[in-house]
Amino acid sequence: MFRRMLHTGAPLRAVRKPQFNVKAMLARLPDYVGSVQAREPVDGEQLISRLQELPERQKEVAQIDGEVRVVQSRRKVLEAEMAAGMHRAAGAELKMLKQKYQALATRAKALREEIRATCEDLPNLLDQSTPHSEPEIVEWLNPLPEYRADARCEHHDVMVRKKLVDFQAAAEVTGSSWYYLINEGAMLEHALVSYATRKARQWGFSLCMPPSIARSEVIAACGFRPRDQNDEQQIYAIEGSNLGLTATAEIPLAGLGLNRTLDLASPRALCGVSRSYRAEAGARGRDTKGLYRVHEFTKVELFYWAKPADSAALLEKLRAFQTELISELGLSAKVLNMPANDLGAPAFKKYDIEVWMRGRGSFGEVSSASNCTDFQSRRLSTRFVNDAGDLDYPHTLNGTAMAVPRVIVAIVENFYDPETDRIRIPDPLQPYMDGMQYI
């Protein structure tokens, strides 16, 4: 039944072709070229070449439109004369004009599709504060006097020994990079999700439990591609359908605005809880051991639709939420303004938070927050009525409230005491773990 339902839905296309303001994009052509160059995509040179051809393509469309108007004007004159009995020999010329019109219309349609495809493939523009190639530290959270690795605190060994996780059983049942969280390990996930969602509601976000499967065109419209720059699979596609498993609740949350006009008298704020799926093809080395890089995990995601004038301030609000959460957990971290070559196509500006992980002996990313401006809303045909009474595209923003496995890694590796063989539970989580202070 499940396969039949998926197959039945496959032929439907939910996403309309996006409409682009080509004139406005051409006015900022150097900025788009700079954005492509700074992001360093594999197909960057080809995309820049297509982008630089846009003015000529647009000029050709305008010329064809002019020719079409001349043809149509002449046809109307001839048809009127024939109707009045003034031009009985106009049939041959009308036939020729009809053929010319069809040829011009076909060429114009092809050019417009080429222009639209180029616009759709372009990444977002970049905020002026975005670094070029190296992240910029903008804030430290709970800084330590020194950062010293301790292999005794490596989360994989600690959690396996304390029966908080079972990687072996998951490998036999599913494969590598899957896991069973068990006993207090499962309680810790529940506590982290409960803590994050309660805080999100206190900050004005409405709770949402979205689907973890979306149509491929919705996934693509959000800026997620089936394969990465190295042509390695990143999205799990469901065979025999046009559906895929979502890598983050950002995708179905953005999809809530699909083909809709929203009331944005105030920003709409959602907090989504979902399982997230990532193929993580190409991942190698120590990242594949333990919980740091896995194929399936629980994630709490924050999402905004907002008027364009409000989005910059809301990105800072997302960052403030994330820094408060990480600080309250007692984790030492750095907040980074991420460089252009680390930004996905939708992001105009992005912050990451990297937490110190003592067992790994390095900082690891636990959250990100991005302002995508109108990249997603334009591709999903999400609109709002602006102050002038016109339909416009809202800005979308997303931020991680809780990526459960990464934060578990950080908690275990920072709060495990090798002398007592106990893991201290951060104070905010204890109410969700039956008052337990240690594992």
Question: What are the tokens at 405?
Answer: 């496995």
**β-strand pairing of 261-262 with 383-385:** parallel
How far separated are the first and last CA of the chain, in Å rounded? 43
pTM of the model as a whole: 0.91
Query: Cβ–Cβ contacts within 10 Å for residue 62, how many?
Result: 11
**β-strand pairing of 180-181 with 165-166:** antiparallel
Which parts are annotated binding residues for L-serine?
A: 248, 278, 301, 398
Of the candidates 113, 342, 87, 302, the residue with the CA atom closest to the CA atom of residue 210: 302
71: burial class by Cβ within 10 Å (0-12, 13-18, 19+)?
buried
pLDDT for 249-307, tens place per residue? 999 999 999 999 999 999 999 999 999 999 875 556 666 789 999 999 999 999 999 99
pLDDT exceeds 70 at position 89: no
Query: 141: part of which helix (H) or strand (E)?
Result: strand 136-141
Which parts are annotated binding residues for ATP?
A: 278-280, 294-297, 365-368
56: burial class by Cβ within 10 Å (0-12, 13-18, 19+)?
exposed
Which parts are annotated binding residues?
A: 248, 278-280, 294-297, 301, 365-368, 398
pLDDT for 9-51, tens place per residue? 444 557 899 999 999 999 999 999 999 999 999 899 999 999 9
Answer yes or no: are the C-beta atoms of 364 and 354 closer than 8 Å: yes
